[in-house]
Amino acid sequence: MHANGPNASSPRSTAAADDQAIPRPIAVVRKPLTAGARTGLHHHIRAQLLYATAGLMSASAEDGAWVVPEGHALWIPARLPHTTVTHGLVALCTAYLDRTAVATFPETCRVIAVSPLLSAALVALAEEPVLYAEDGRGGHLAALVLDEIGRAPATPLTLPLPRDPRLRRVCLGIIEDPASEDDLDAWADRAGASRRTLTRGFRAETGLSFGDWRARARVIRALALSAEGRPPRAVAAAVGYRSAQALRLTVARVLGPAGARQALV
């Protein structure tokens, strides 16, 4: 180990680059982030679990966009270019995981529900020395974190982006203006494709119908706006709903009743 490398008594760095070569399967960092903090496009050598213990973050990559509210985390495979932005103040607890330790984990991003056990294990591991004892408490916590991530259920807080340029043009247009009232025919005209092509393409490339994809896009934007402190009626109007109640019904349909209660949109 280099003389200036990490040791058991070193103060824990909050720079992501410093956690990529630590000779442990998991490195956990906790730090506060200000509202509107943006990373720009970047990637990590290690896989990442992006977890906000408080507040809400969003992330995007070539193949999708995700919102990460409190109680959830975003699984990001190693070397995947992505960007993140905070919506309001965020308390970040992020884990960087050695690729060999997560070889069987998904190779695409997904938002997972964070169990109380996973949350507690991440926070506890962040309090261990940088070079925690792999045969001691730190090693046990790391194994628990890996097990809980592997068991965590995926959530519908994912917005898959198609590769077909016509479909992608439609998706990016909706993301830019979620309040647009244009129907599928109007979007098909904009994209230079038939209604049938768009209908089939959405199903084939995203697994969702056009209507379900747009509803999910609106919910994801609504969660971000709500986290920034916008009042419910303003949030609803910004994403194309006439009332906060109408938006809440859509949130309940997309996220389920439990997710809608937690979202508080």
CA distance 12 to 226: 33
Question: 183-223: per-residue pLDDT in tens?
Answer: 989 999 988 889 999 999 999 999 999 999 999 999 999 99
pLDDT tens for residues 71-95? 899 999 999 999 999 999 999 999 9
Residue 1 has pLDDT above 50, yes or no: no
CATH fit for domain 16-151, picks 2.30.110.10, 3.40.1020.10, 2.60.120.810, 3.40.50.980: 2.60.120.810
* pLDDT (0 to 100) of residue 21: 79
Give the model's pLDDT for residue 13: 56
For residue 232, is pLDDT > 50? yes
What is the domain partition of the chain in residue ranges? 16-151, 162-263
pLDDT at residue 259, rounded to an integer: 60
Q: Measured between alpha carbons, how far is 109 from 259 in angstroms, rounded to an integer?
A: 20
- 12's tokens: 């824990």
User: What's the CATH number of domain 162-263, 3.30.70.920, 1.10.150.130, 1.10.10.60, 1.10.1200.10?
Assistant: 1.10.10.60
**Average pLDDT value for the chain:** 89
Reduced to 3 states (helix: H, G, I; strand: E, B; else coil), residue 63 is coil
Q: Is 240 helix (H, G, I), strand (E, B) or coil?
A: coil
Q: What does the pLDDT look like over 9-40, one tens digit per residue?
A: 455 555 656 677 789 999 999 999 999 999 99
151-154 own/partner pairs: CB under 8 Å, 24+ apart:
151/115, 152/73, 152/112, 152/113, 152/114, 152/115, 152/118, 153/112, 153/113, 154/110, 154/111, 154/112
CB neighbours of 128 closer than 8 A, spacing ≥ 6?
A: 137, 138, 141
105-159, pLDDT tens digit by residue? Answer: 999 999 999 999 999 999 999 999 999 999 999 999 999 999 999 999 989 899 9
Listed residue (38, 115, 105) closest to 73, CA to CA: 115
